[in-house]
Amino acid sequence: MKLDASTYAGVAQRAECLVTSEEMEAALDRMAEALTTRLAGKDPLVLCVMTGAAIVTGLLLPRLDFQLRLDYIHATRYRGETRGGDIFWRHRPSEAIRGEHVLILDDILDEGITLDHVARACREDGAASVQTAVLVEKIRPHRCEVDVVGVKVADRYLYGYGLDYKGYFRNVPGVYAVADEDV
Ligand SMILES: O=P(O)(O)OC[C@H]1O[C@H](OP(=O)(O)OP(=O)(O)O)[C@H](O)[C@@H]1O
Ligand code: HPA
């Protein structure tokens, strides 16, 4: 769904910045360090969970100075809404996963349902090992744990650094909480 320019501007004006771009860049540096410790020398297959993880993937991979490969996996359950529904698979690269040390990279752990499904799918598809990393973890109970986290943020509806509000704001250089009236 398209947002008209005045609605877009209103959402942006009412939103609250929770994490600045400087803080996010520092978090990416810390994630890179933790992932290097876990995965350097294992020739991992990094799986970008489309679409939101495209930004964290692009920012993180140049910080990883070791042998790796990149592929993508696409499971979605929000599809432009601010509440999640059933998992919908768009791309599951089962053959590519078999025997690999997989790193699943996503933008956010919210309820944890998406990451739980994706990690299970990788194990079912014969991954040698599965590790997970997210740029943002919401402070709330989750369906699954994650190995490496960038920042922990309040349980509000968020946008920026890959996180979308109705398909928009993924390109915003900071993490913002949408005002209650806009959720
Ligand atoms: O922990 P959960 O409650 O399952 O939510 C997290 C998932 O929600 C978002 O995906 P979405 O379905 O919105 O697709 P997108 O990546 O295209 O935004 C996000 O990218 C995570 O994959
Ligand atoms: O707070 C959120 N913002 C954007 N996308 C999301 N997917 C799960 N939670 C969120």
| Ligand lying closest to the C-alpha of residue 153 | 2
The 10 Å Cβ neighbour count of residue 65 is 9
Tens place of pLDDT per residue across the chain (183 aa) = 899 999 999 999 999 999 999 999 999 999 999 999 999 999 999 999 999 999 999 999 999 999 999 999 999 998 878 888 899 999 999 899 999 999 999 999 999 999 999 999 999 999 999 999 999 999 999 999 999 999 999 999 999 999 999 999 999 999 999 999 999
pLDDT, residue 93, reads 92
CATH 3.30.70.890 holds for 16-177: no
Cα 108 to ligand 1 centroid, rounded to whole Å? 7
Instruction: Report whether residue 137 contacts ligand 1, using a CB cutoff of 6 Å.
Output: no
Residue with tokens 């877009």: 8
- Domain residue ranges in the chain: 16-177
pLDDT, residue 175, reads 98
Residue 67, CA distances (Å) to 15, 40, 45, 63, 76 in order: 40, 7, 10, 12, 29
Instruction: Report whether residue 57 contacts ligand 1, using a CB cutoff of 6 Å.
Output: no
Instruction: Report whether residue 172 contacts ligand 2, using a CB cutoff of 6 Å.
Output: no
Nearest CA to ligand 1 atom 10: 76
pLDDT, residue 81, reads 83
**Residue 29, H or E segment:** helix 21-39
Instruction: Report whether residue 77 contacts ligand 1, using a CB cutoff of 6 Å.
Output: yes
* Closest C-alpha to 136, from 166, 120, 115: 115
Instruction: Report whether residue 100 contacts ligand 1, using a CB cutoff of 6 Å.
Output: no
Residue 130, CA distances (Å) to 29, 127, 182 in order: 21, 7, 37
State the closest ligand 1 atom to the C-alpha of 107, by its place in the atom list counted from 1: 20
pTM of structure:
0.97
Cα 53 to ligand 1 centroid, rounded to whole Å? 9
Q: What is the ipTM of this complex?
A: 0.98
Let me know: does 64 contact 93? Beta carbons within 8 Å: no
Residue with tokens 């070791």: 66
